[in-house]
Amino acid sequence: MIITEWRYLFNITNTDELRTTAVKAKLRTSRFRSLCWRLLLEILPPDSTKWLMVIEKYRSLYEQIKSTHDNDPHAQDSGPDDPLSQDEDSIWKQYFKDIELKKVIEQDVVRTSPGVEFFGTEKIRKIMIDILFCYSREHPDLCYRQGMHEILAPLLFVLHCDHQALLHVLEQSSSDISDLIKKILDPAYLEADAYSLFNIIMEVMKDYYNINDFIVSVPKPTEHVKTTSSTFNSQVVQKLSKIRDTMLTKHDPELYGHLLDLDISFTTFGVRWLRLLFGGEFSSMDLLVLWDAIFATSPQDFALVNHIFVAMLVLIRIQLLKSDNTDCLKHLMRYPPVDVMNVIEYALHMFDPKMYLLPSIINSLKHEKSENIKFNVTDHQPERPSKLNTYLPRPTRNSADDLLELCRIKLLQYHSILNPVVPIQNKEARQALTGMLELCGMLNSRPGIIEMGRDVVRSTTTPIDTLLTPETPEGGPLLPPPASAITMKVFRKTENSTDSQIQGAPTKNPLKQMKR
């Protein structure tokens, strides 16, 4: 089996047939998926006689990069330089910055797929940290962003599976395996091969990870020359706007209108979808099939991603049309299980309707009678107030998790409203926005979720007591306060005591002490 597949790959003259194989999900059982991805992403040329030369070039390049950024002043003569130096060229200053960067990366790496033993080993964690560190140093304008480790993880896993498949065959019959296969799938180069794949993919995806605080030039009404204003935007926000206002309105105007009526912000869930390349929405095996199609169809710009985004919305249109604002966001933040092939087939149809047929399931979904599924906004949704002058009506919930999720979703909504209009120069306001995301992380009832969808908070948080308000119904709050992690000391007066001093109270003003 492995020899037959190898001969097929080795003898291809162009990648058209391989691309067709990939979009049909026929790489699901491939023992050379990592090699196929390198062909689909055009890292390797179709000419198989050049494969080893190209691969060795990428491996050598990674070793050079790793050596360049391995600056340990303990192991070299730093001359007059010293650990306290603030000089930009100081080896010591860069050394301490590198340590901090690796700590940040490690905090995300240790959370990668906690249920998968492969990612829990020290060897793989170190490989991930080294790859992400080298990429960050090679791209200082972008550096490291949360979510990058979720792009790297499947690449390492696919390479590892290919290595294991080859080792299994070698144990049975090593004489049938050529030296070329052994060199291309050499486990010793797992790290270097993963870096080359990651680097190429991030070259296409880097706009998704740029910080969304870019000032956009907007012309004044009285001028023809563009001047700087306080309008903020980014490539990922522009892409989400295009998906919503151009693509969704074309392919499902009813769903588009419903989400617009409910004021569903696409940045709330869409940034995570794009940054993780849908990694948080599908199972591991389905995700690899989805990536097969993305790499095969549009390796230069991943154009199929936009169509996948729309396909995912349309495939849960019935759930969304039945839902109010809160339930819609719950479906989008925790995408329900769907057949990944339906997603791919509909995305391919939108991408090229002449080549790919419309899946039958889409017709059945769209022909559902609207009056039977459409959520009546006016009956269930209060009139939408302006921006932040609103409050969420107290819902009736049976689950504490539902309440926490509700609070988290509303915070994300407020963040999406404020984020585009708060100037980057206003550092305190920007810090407050970051704090809102941190609160969302604290309220997240699911472990292991990152920024815009997975682990905003990198430290363990303590429970927050439920506040009693005048609106609290009789019988106590809807959500019982959890046990506090901090033992509270009660200040009281001793009964029949003539001493006016309250026992347990501080004798000095703590605020004045803090000011000192």
pLDDT in tens, 14-53: 889 999 999 999 999 898 999 999 999 999 999 889 999 9
Residue 214 pairs in a beta bridge with: 233
Report the candidate in 338, 471, 342, 481 with the shortest Cα–Cα distance to residue 403. Answer: 481
Work out the average pLDDT over 74-101: 72
pLDDT at 91 over 80: no
Q: Give the residues across from 503 on adjacent strands.
A: 492
Radius of gyration of the chain (CA): 27
pTM: 0.70
pLDDT > 70: what percent of the chain?
69
- Burial of residue 122 (number of CB atoms within 10 Å: 0-12, 13-18, 19+): exposed
**Three-class DSSP category at 159:** helix
pLDDT of residue 463: 37
Of the pLDDT bands very low, low, confident and very high (cuts 50, 70, 90), residue 481 is very low
Calculate what percentage of the chain has a pLDDT beyond 90.
49
Contacts 24+ apart (CB under 8 A), 121-124: 124/156
Beta strands 214-219 and 226-233 are antiparallel
Of the candidate ranges 188-192, 302-306, 333-337, 412-416, the one whose mean pLDDT is the lowest = 412-416
Residue type, 184: I
Query: For helices 400-418 and 325-333, what crossing angle results, to 10°?
Result: 90
pLDDT digits (tens, 9 = 90+) for 441-466: 666 544 433 344 443 333 333 333 33
The pLDDT of residue 373 is above 60: no
Q: Residue 79 and residue 91: Cα distance in Å, rounded?
A: 10
Residue 502 CA neighbour count, 13 Å, CB half: 9
In terms of DSSP H, where are the helices of 78-221?
Answer: 91-109, 122-138, 148-172, 179-184, 190-209
Whether the CB-CB separation of 33 and 311 falls below 8 Å is answered with no
Query: CA separation (Å) from 453 to 5, 281, 283, 414, 441?
Result: 38, 10, 16, 16, 9
Per-residue HEC secondary structure of 23-70 comes to: HCCCCCCCCCHHHHHHHHCCCCCCCHHHHHHHHHHHHHHHHHHHHHCC
pLDDT confidence bin for 211, thresholds 50/70/90? low
Q: Which residues pair with 217 in a beta bridge?
A: 228
- What are the backbone angles phi and psi of residue 265, rounded to the nearest 5°? -85, 125
CA distance 308 to 344: 7
> Helix, strand, coil: what percent of the chain each, to 5?
55, 5, 40
Tens digit of pLDDT for each residue in 159-207? 999 999 888 888 877 666 788 889 999 999 999 999 999 999 999 999 8
Contact 430, 418 (CB under 8 A): no
